[in-house]
């Protein structure tokens, strides 16, 4: 681990902190994971943040969630018969079905991956 360095501002020593390199990779599902963990187990979040393992864990969960999101969306589109033909002939019905699919997939991911 890197040694902490400080710089002086007035009478105070301020730590020289660098942004975590993985923070740019964090997207919706990784943020949802951290948010859920903060609410349910704040000590766990603090421990992992201090060890530098919080962002890698969140990114791993994010990848799993994004993979599941893609697979389940494709599966449900076939199940609900959401096609380009439907999109061309009845766009409002297509949007309604896609919104239903999106809600179901989000619910699945929250239940099976994020809130575990």
Domain-embedded: residue 9: no
Rounded Cα–Cα distance for residues 102 and 82 (Å): 12
pTM, two decimals, is 0.76
Domain-embedded: residue 55: yes
Intervals of the chain under pLDDT 70: 1-2, 19-23
Domain-embedded: residue 11: no
Domain that holds residue 26: 22-114
Rounded Cα–Cα distance for residues 16 and 58 (Å): 25
State the total domains in the chain: 1
Domain-embedded: residue 16: no
Q: How far is CA 60 from the centre of its chain?
A: 9
Domain-embedded: residue 13: no
């Amino acid at each position: 681990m890197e040694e902490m360095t400080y710089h002086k501002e007035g009478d105070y020593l301020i730590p020289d902190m660098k942004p975590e390199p993985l923070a740019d990779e964090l997207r919706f599902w990784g943020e949802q994971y951290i948010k859920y963990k903060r609410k349910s187990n704040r000590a766990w979040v603090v421990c992992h943040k201090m060890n530098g393992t919080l962002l890698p864990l969140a990114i791993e969960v994010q990848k799993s969630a994004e993979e599941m999101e893609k697979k389940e969306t494709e599966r449900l589109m076939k199940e609900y018969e959401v096609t380009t033909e439907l999109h061309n002939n009845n766009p409002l019905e297509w949007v309604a079905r896609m919104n239903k699919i999106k809600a179901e997939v989000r619910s699945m991911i929250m239940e099976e991956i994020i809130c575990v």
